[in-house]
Structures are given as structure tokens and as C-alpha cells.
Amino acid sequence: MNEIKPSLYDFTLKDLTALVKPSFRAKQIYGWLYHQYADNYEAMKNIPKAMKEELAEKYLVNPMKIVRKEESDDGTIKYLFELQDGKTVEAVWLKMKDAQHDEEGNLTQEAKYTICVSTQVGCKVGCSFCLTAKGGFTRDLTAGEIVGQVVNLKRDNDHKHNRKINIVYMGMGEPLDNLDNLAKAISIFKEEEGLAISGKRQTVSTSGLSNKIDQLGSMDLGVHIAISLHAVDDELRTELIPMNKAHNINSIIEAVKRFPIDTRKRVMFEYLVIKDKNDDLGSAKKLVKLLSGIKAKVNLIYFNPYPGTPYERPSYEDMFAFQEYLIKHGLLSTIRDSKGIDISAACGQLKEKTVNELSN
């Protein structure tokens, strides 16, 4: 295995200030990294040559490279990154809203984007519906490798540093299984001298590590949390998410009730709808009861099929009937648009496709 060299993306501004003297150089370097998107030391024109040479001996600037990307008709772009040790992870650039113009054609509102990032190479959770689980778990990503995904996507899409962006930790891996590096990446994103992405624009999606939900809450990072629920009883949830044996539905619900949230916001519950598994009105009724007393929003997600999966996409009729039942009974519910369905959209698909092509 190749040595994994630390990256400048691994540092908070405070860390870098302690490393680089005089301290004003740290702010200059931060500006190059996060405002100019410099991916090499040569681009940092006002940093002394000796300082750059000294840093280069120990630290990379960019710890990853884009090796493949696929673009959907809806503007979604799926990226495959190669890391220093040759491992690969995915990130997704999602257009959430188109730009708005007035009658004269003047821009009135810029397009809105979300970046979906990975936190691990592979995953330990082993969800039966997830393609990432096929490859097992390899390692955690460093904080710098998490941060690097966002910087590389912003650079590749010419997205200026001061334009607002949302981040969801919903790619490959279980974010709370890599809590220390996740928390550091969140803090780096929040740096005012860097990308200045506030906690309220960052959402951690977890398959339900109830003890880690409590730990994340105690860190007071100001992030939102999304729970990948996917089932309303422990039997089905254990089939879909084996670790439910250790973190059952009740333990997750109780941890959510303890999680500090902005009183104006709702806790997001992700519910992957699978044909003939959890798409019936009986499940909808149980879901309403389960989330009673929680200021919740349920995001219904069409299962996105991939080759070899035993699960199927639900019908439009069943999906909308499920949503209608939730809303009728007082539970806010949305149906997530299927982004990038014409490309390798499901998490792990682009990686799997690339591996298969290389082996053929």
C-alpha cells in the first residue's frame, strides 16, 4: 500500500497558523486553497519559495485526482476520485434549482447546488440494497480527503468560493463511523477564511449509529442530521441494514430526540421505497405513529436499481399514495427527484462500472 501523505486540506486555520510562521502566511495559504482553488504549490505566487519547498516535503496540496466523471441530462455530475493509495471514492455534483432570470434576461437568482461526498472507502454497514456494500470496507477517509472532494468539484465547475453550496455526507461510507475526521472536515468547511460553509448548510446522513448520534450532538457543530430509516419494524430494517441488530429503531428514535436542532428546522428521515417491501399503506401508517412527537420531515426516495440487485423500483402510484397518506396524517413529506438516473447514479455504481471495465 502506498503511503498516505497528509494534505494541506487536513488543517483548520488554527492548525496551519501553528505550523507556519509568520502566522499571516497561513491566511495567505488558506486563500490560495479555498478562494483560488490552487492545487499545487507553484500557483501560490506570494508564498516564499523556501516555505513552499519545506511544506512540499511533508504535505500534498491536493490528495486526490479526478479519474472519471459522468454528466446527466439534468445537470448531475458523478465523479470518481483516485486517492494516493490507488483506492477510489465517489462524489456527486447536484443541481437543485436552475438559475432564474427576469423578462429582460437578467440573472435574478443563481442556480443552487449540493455536493454529496463520501467519508470512507467502502462501508462497514453492509446495507443489502447498497452497491457500495459489495466491496466491503477498506479504510476511513482523512479529513483532507473529505474536504478535497468539495474543493475539486467547486474548481471543476467554476463555482466561486463565496457562492453558497450545500454539503450532504451521503456518499460512500457511514459518516458517523468516521466521526473524528468527519467533525474536523465540518470545522474546516466552516472556516470564515476558507469556504465559509455554515453548519446549517451541512447535513450528516447516518444509517443510525445511535451512540454516535449522541456524540455528534455533543460536539455542537450546528449541522443537520438525516436518518436513513427505510423501514418501520426491526425485522425488515435488519434485513436491509444488518447493524440494526445493534442499533434498533427505538434506540435511533430516542437518540434523535436528544439531538440538538434549530427549533425552526425539522429532522430529516430518509425512507428508501422498495417495491413490495415497504411501499404499502400499512407501512405508512406505522411510520406516522413511529415519528409522533418528533418535528420530522420524511424524504421518500425511489430505489435506484443496479445490475444484480434483488430489489425493484416502486410504482409512481404507490409512491404518491404513500406520500399522500403521510401528509394527510400530519407528517411533512417530499419525494426526492431521481437525479442522474441516466448515468451511474446509485452510490458505488461509477466505481463498480470502472472496475468491471478495467477487468474485461
Pairing of strands 100-101, 107-109: antiparallel
Q: Out of 70, 90, 145, 270, which one is annotated catalytic?
A: 90
Compute the C-alpha angle 33/35/40, nearest 5°: 30
What is the phi/psi pair of residue 252, to 5°?
A: -70, -45
For the chain, where are the E strands, in sequence order? 64-71, 77-83, 88-97, 100-101, 107-109, 112-117, 120-122, 137-140, 166-169, 202-206, 224-228, 267-273, 296-302, 332-335
Known catalytic residue: 53? no
230 is known to lie in a ligand binding site: yes
127 has binding-site annotation: yes
DSSP state of 40: S
Name the CA dihedral angle for 239, 240, 246, 250, rounded to a multiple of 10 degrees: -100
Give the DSSP H or E segment for 58: helix 49-58
Peptide bond into 22 cis (omega under 30): yes
Residue 116 assigned to a binding site = no
205 is in an annotated binding site: yes
Question: Quick check: 186 and 202 in contact, CB under 8 A?
Answer: yes
**Burial zone of 93 (CB within 10 Å; 0-12 exposed, 13-18 middle, 19+ buried):** buried
> Is 347 in the active site?
yes
Q: Which of 70, 270, 347, 352 is labelled catalytic?
A: 347
Binding site, annotated residues for [4Fe-4S] cluster? 123, 127, 130
By annotation, the residues acting in catalysis are 90, 347
Annotated binding site: 123, 127, 130, 173-174, 205, 228-230, 304
Binding-site residue positions for S-adenosyl-L-methionine = 173-174, 205, 228-230, 304
